[in-house]
């Protein structure tokens, strides 16, 4: 895809329209070098690159939050873009020479929420879908990694990190695994595992961090032993707490206890009465039974003879009288003893009931006594709570330890399988690099008289790309290396039919030697490439005719936004 046009407009008019072409595209600042100190070099030439970047998924904030506009307040530029509802339209085309080739029209404004416009070919997209759609249209890829913004990072170089680094074009915090996915994509090697590997590596880093933190605090054995002691303490405290089981209805227990005490007193009195009566009856029975043994038969017989002398005709004999006496005693004993069985049953019943009441009284009394020891119980509960907190902490540490260890083992296995799979691509990777170096070495030699070579290095985490050089690189030489790499990459893609962006945006091109810009113009004019650079007219080499390459001319009197 090439850049066809960039248009800046509001509801009323077109503010600026830039038509791009193949080869070198110059955005020229007409400000004389000796006037830069007064003007501040703020005509907006680098802003053109930022507007293109904005249309390709950038947030656009660097357009009005940048030192380039230090003579104008950032608020002024931001207000202009938003209050005038400035619309930026970028048109990309598959082949600039073919009228009917595919086009991609991107429209964006700087407003938010419901007023935000973000379209591709007339269709509105969310931020995520917007980037995925561009990736599908330009690079014919639907994979999650690398992202669209990562892929085009080397095509848009105006930030310092991208101007200073040839292949390390992403944020400084980018992981090796993400770079590996990007490099393999650049070289046309589709492993279908890059995204999975990045996620696994991220998970591995997380689990390793958890284990590192756990090891710093304690050890696995210490956790096990601590839990053993804590569980023992909890068992002991729970036993103490059980002995302090409290009846929730204290008043009911107290009323029951009072009733039991009253019943116990009543039963004790009744039992005493029953026992006393039983003893009296038994004593009376014993006394009567003794009469059998104590009676004097001879005296009774003498008494009978005396009575018979006075009453000669007594009808009852002595034997009859004795039998009557004994019979009377038997009846008396029988009568007295008849109450004994019932008394004994009543005594047994009273004893059982009394014992039951005594047991109940003891149990309830213990409960109520323990209620009086509430402070001690609270101490036990507080100790239990502390132990449970400690237990929870150690159990969570143990869970994390075991879980992280198991996860790490699974991740390592998965990474090993993926790396083994990627390793099988190593031959293809080397072949791709060899093919790339055919272009890279030729372009770099033409631009700077030195052959740069790309190479791969397999680290423990991922494959890396490195550029070999002879001697140290000055700023100009570094710029030449970067330009050579970007140009060679597009040539490599065209040779191997790898979808790519055919435009290169470079800022600060003034830092390369004069003859290099002329050579770049020559190389890209013979290739299927757009090389777009903002530059001061005074910095252009004398042998380069700017009118042949100019797509936009800016000055203090004709700034990009006209303000």
Choice between 292 and 63, residue whose per-residue pLDDT is larger: 63
Question: Of 331, 350, 372, which residue sits at a domain end?
Answer: 372
Range of the domain at 558: 1-140+499-563
Say yes or no to pLDDT of 38 above 60. Answer: no
Does residue 554 lie in a domain region?
A: yes
Does residue 92 lie in a domain region?
A: yes
Does residue 178 lie in a domain region?
A: no
Reported confidence tier of residue 248, pLDDT bands at 50, 70, 90: low
DSSP annotation string for 409-448: HHHHHHHHHHHHHHHTTHHHHHHHHHHHHHHHHHHHHHHH
* pLDDT at position 295: 55
CATH code for position 263: 1.10.287
SS (H, E, C) 81-124: HHHCCCEEEEEEECCCCCCCCCEEEEEEECCCHHHCCEEECCEE
Does residue 304 lie in a domain region?
A: yes
Give the closest residue to 449 by CA, choosing from 515, 380, 388.
515
CA distances from 126 to 56, 89, 138, 407 (A): 13, 17, 18, 35
Question: Residue length, the chain?
Answer: 563
Q: What is the mean pLDDT of residues 218-223?
A: 89
* pLDDT at position 37: 53
pLDDT tens readout for residues 145-198: 899 999 999 999 999 889 999 999 999 989 888 898 899 999 988 656 666 777
Does residue 336 lie in a domain region?
A: yes
Does residue 425 lie in a domain region?
A: no
pLDDT tens readout for residues 497-541: 999 999 999 998 766 766 788 899 999 999 999 999 999 998 898
Does residue 473 lie in a domain region?
A: no
Q: Whole-model pTM?
A: 0.62
Say yes or no to pLDDT of 554 above 90. Answer: yes
d(CA 472, CA 103): 43
Lowest mean pLDDT, pick from 20-24, 105-109, 349-353, 378-382: 378-382
Helices (H), 449-502: 475-495
Q: How many domains does the chain have?
A: 2
* pLDDT at position 515: 74
Question: 184 φ, ψ to 5°?
Answer: -65, -40
* pLDDT at position 427: 79
Question: Of 372, 387, 409, which residue sits at a domain end?
Answer: 372
Question: Of 372, 406, 438, which residue sits at a domain end?
Answer: 372
* pLDDT at position 434: 94
Reported confidence tier of residue 403, pLDDT bands at 50, 70, 90: confident
CATH code for position 111: 3.40.50
Share the mean pLDDT of the chain. Answer: 83
Does residue 52 lie in a domain region?
A: yes
């Amino acid at each position: 895809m090439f850049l066809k046009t960039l248009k800046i407009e509001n509801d009323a008019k077109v503010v600026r329209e830039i038509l791009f072409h193949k080869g070198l595209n110059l955005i020229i600042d007409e400000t004389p070098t000796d006037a830069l100190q007064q003007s501040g070099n703020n005509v907006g030439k680098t802003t053109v690159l930022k507007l293109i970047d904005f249309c390709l998924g950038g947030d656009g904030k660097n357009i009005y939050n940048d030192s380039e506009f230090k003579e104008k307040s950032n608020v002024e530029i931001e207000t202009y873009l938003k209050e005038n509802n400035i619309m930026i339209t970028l048109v990309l085309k598959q082949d600039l020479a073919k009228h009917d080739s595919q086009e991609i029209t991107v429209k964006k404004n700087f407003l938010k929420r419901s007023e935000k416009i973000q379209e591709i070919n007339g269709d509105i997209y969310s931020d995520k879908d917007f980037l995925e759609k561009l990736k599908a249209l330009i690079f014919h890829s639907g994979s999650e990694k690398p992202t669209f913004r990562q892929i085009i990072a080397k095509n848009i170089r105006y930030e310092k990190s991208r101007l200073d680094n040839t292949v390390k074009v992403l944020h400084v915090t980018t992981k090796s695994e993400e770079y590996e996915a990007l490099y393999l994509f650049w070289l046309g090697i589709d492993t279908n595992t890059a995204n999975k590997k990045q996620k696994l590596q991220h998970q591995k880093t997380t689990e390793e961090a958890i284990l590192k933190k756990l090891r710093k605090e304690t050890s696995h054995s210490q956790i096990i032993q601590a839990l053993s002691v804590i569980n023992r303490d909890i068992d002991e405290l729970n036993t103490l707490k059980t002995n302090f089981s409290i009846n929730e209805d204290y008043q009911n227990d107290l009323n029951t206890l009072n009733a039991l005490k009253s019943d116990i007193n009543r039963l004790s009195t009744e039992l005493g009465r029953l026992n006393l009566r039983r003893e009296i009856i038994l004593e009376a029975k014993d006394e009567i039974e003794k009469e059998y043994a104590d009676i004097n038969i001879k005296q009774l017989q003498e008494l009978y003879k005396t009575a018979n002398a006075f009453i000669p005709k007594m009808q009852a004999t002595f034997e009859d009288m004795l039998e009557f006496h004994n019979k009377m005693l038997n009846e008396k004993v029988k009568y007295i003893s008849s109450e004994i069985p019932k008394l004994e049953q009543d005594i047994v019943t009273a004893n059982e009931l009394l014992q039951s009441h005594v047991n109940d009284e003891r149990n309830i009394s213990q409960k109520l006594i323990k209620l009086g020891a509430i402070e001690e119980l609270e101490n036990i509960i507080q100790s239990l709570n502390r132990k449970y907190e400690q237990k929870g902490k150690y159990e969570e540490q143990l869970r994390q330890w075991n879980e992280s260890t198991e996860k790490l083992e699974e991740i390592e296995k998965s990474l090993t399988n993926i790396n083994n799979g990627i390793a099988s691509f190593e031959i293809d990777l080397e072949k791709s690099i060899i093919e790339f170096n055919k272009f890279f070495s030729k372009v770099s030699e033409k631009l700077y008289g030195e052959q740069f070579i790309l190479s791969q290095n397999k680290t423990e985490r991922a494959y890396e790309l490195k550029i070999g050089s002879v001697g140290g690189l000055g700023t100009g030489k570094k710029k030449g290396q970067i330009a050579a790499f970007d140009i060679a990459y597009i040539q490599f893609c065209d040779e191997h039919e790898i979808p790519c962006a055919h435009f290169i945006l470079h800022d600060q091109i003034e830092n390369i030697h004069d003859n290099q810009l002329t050579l770049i113009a020559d190389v890209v004019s013979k290739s299927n490439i757009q090389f777009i650079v903002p530059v001061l007219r005074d910095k252009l080499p004398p042998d380069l005719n700017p009118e042949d390459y100019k797509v936009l001319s800016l000055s203090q009197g004709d700034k990009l936004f006209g303000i």
